[in-house]
């Protein structure tokens, strides 16, 4: 296999914040990418975004997939060397019913794995989250061996969905017994920041950041956990496709130290941004707001959280040094401001 054709990758969720960066990284490294979208409009948006970022899209094609439907998965995985399953519903707010978020997360992971298995794919790289490790913790250090307690009343539905989806993936792999066993690597990002490709700011993290810049968050919630730049997340995803030592591992893509939204606000204020507030919201206020606000309710379990990650294995396996929080925060702000001009 030449450097120009490193293999064909089915990338689910190509139009998302992380998905676009993964597509860019793979295309620039010589992979062919088959991206899944829900509509022709999204397909056009992805092409326009990558072309505007000076990415050669000659080796990019598209398929239509739905996480909750079997339709198209077999055809989408056909002839693929790898699958990168990034697509998953994400919102801090708890949905009206848990199944709205949990069903597509779990079913989507299993559909990607089954399609890969049936198509003879070499390896699946699955996007999970550090929330599947640390969601039911408040303080201390978590690592790849830790799992969130999905029975905990402190976790929100998104955390539960990511944990259940990842567990389902590992259980699927454990059930495989043939000699030509497909491989699985799971990447567990922290809270993801960094510059957006294109003008789509609908992702939960970018929306929150944008609201901070606009001064729409007068009081900042009291919690801190490891974070990561989206460019680092994409790089680790792509390296996980072929790193032989990564097989069967949970890869923490996050800083070792926790970062708070107050820290983010201070970085922005020091660089002259007027909108961000550095005032900490009293815990009781968030609890009161959560009675009638589903997004506030989704944050309750994070109150007082101050967690470190053990990312030693990631640093060693991939010779990785995370971007600094300051670089990531300022590049995020510049990216958001650029879309407003």
What mean pLDDT comes out for the span 39-68? 95
Mean pLDDT of the 13-34 span: 96
Whether the pLDDT of residue 283 is over 70: the answer is: no
Q: Are 17 and 90 in contact (CB under 8 A)?
A: no
Q: Over 70: is that where the pLDDT of 34 sits? A: yes
Query: Given this model, what pLDDT does residue 289 score?
Result: 58
Q: Which residues, in sequence order, are CB contacts of 44 under 8 Å at separation 6+? A: none
| 168 occurs within a structural domain | yes
pLDDT at 325: 93
* 96 vs 34, higher pLDDT: 34
Residue 3 lies in a domain: no
Q: Is 1 domain-assigned?
A: no
Q: Place 279 in a pLDDT band, splitting at 50, 70 and 90.
A: confident
Q: CA-CA distance, 26 to 207, in Å (whole number)?
A: 26
Has residue 339 been placed in a domain? no
Has this prediction a pTM greater than 0.85? yes
N- to C-terminal Cα separation, the chain: 44
Tens-place pLDDT, residues 288-322: 554 555 555 555 566 667 899 999 999 999 999 99
204 vs 281 pLDDT, higher one? 281
pLDDT at site 308: 96
Q: What is the mean pLDDT of residues 176-197?
A: 89
Is 85 a member of any domain? Answer: yes
CATH number of the CATH domain containing 318: 3.40.50.720
Distance separating alpha carbons of residues 194 and 87, to the nearest angstrom: 19
Banded model confidence at residue 137, pLDDT cuts 50, 70, 90: confident
Domain presence at residue 84: yes
Range of the domain at 51: 8-334
Q: Is the pLDDT of residue 110 over 60?
A: yes
pLDDT level of residue 177 (50, 70, 90 thresholds): confident
In whole angstroms, what is the distance from residue 322 CA to residue 238 CA? 15
Number of domains composing the chain: 1
In a domain, 28, yes or no: yes
Q: Is residue 210 a part of any domain in this protein? A: yes
């Amino acid at each position: 296999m030449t450097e120009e054709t490193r293999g064909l990758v089915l990338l689910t969720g190509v139009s998302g914040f992380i998905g676009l960066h993964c597509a860019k990284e793979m295309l620039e490294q010589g992979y062919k990418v088959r991206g899944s979208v829900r509509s022709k409009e999204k397909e056009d948006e992805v092409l326009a975004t990558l072309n505007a970022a000076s990415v050669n899209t000659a080796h990019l094609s598209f398929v239509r997939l739905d996480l909750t439907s079997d339709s198209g998965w077999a055809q989408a995985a056909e002839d693929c060397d790898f699958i990168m399953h990034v697509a998953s519903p994400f919102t801090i707010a708890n949905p009206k019913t848990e199944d709205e978020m949990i069903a597509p997360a779990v079913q989507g992971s299993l559909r990607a794995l089954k399609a890969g298995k049936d198509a003879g794919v070499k390896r699946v790289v699955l996007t999970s989250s550090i929330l599947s490790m640390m969601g039911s913790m408040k303080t201390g250090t978590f690592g790849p061996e830790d799992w969130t307690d999905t029975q905990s009343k402190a976790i929100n539905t998104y955390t539960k969905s990511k944990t259940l989806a990842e567990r389902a993936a590992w259980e699927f792999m454990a059930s495989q017994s043939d000699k030509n066993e497909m491989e699985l690597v799971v990447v567990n990002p922290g809270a993801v920041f960094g510059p957006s490709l294109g003008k789509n700011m609908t992702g939960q993290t970018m929306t929150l950041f944008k609201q901070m810049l606009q001064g729409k968050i007068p009081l900042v919630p009291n919690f801190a956990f490891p974070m990561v730049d989206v460019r680092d997340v994409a790089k680790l995803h792509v390296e996980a496709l072929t790193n032989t030592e990564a097989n069967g591992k949970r890869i923490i893509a996050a800083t070792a130290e926790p970062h708070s939204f107050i820290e983010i606000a201070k970085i922005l204020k020091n660089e002259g941004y007027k909108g961000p507030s550095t005032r900490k919201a009293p815990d009781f206020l968030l609890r009161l707001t959560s009675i009638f606000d589903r997004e506030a309710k989704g944050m309750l379990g994070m109150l007082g959280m101050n967690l470190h990650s053990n990312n030693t294995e990631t640093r060693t396996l991939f010779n990785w040094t995370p971007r600094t929080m300051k670089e990531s925060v300022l590049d995020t702000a510049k990216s958001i401001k650029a879309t407003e001009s």
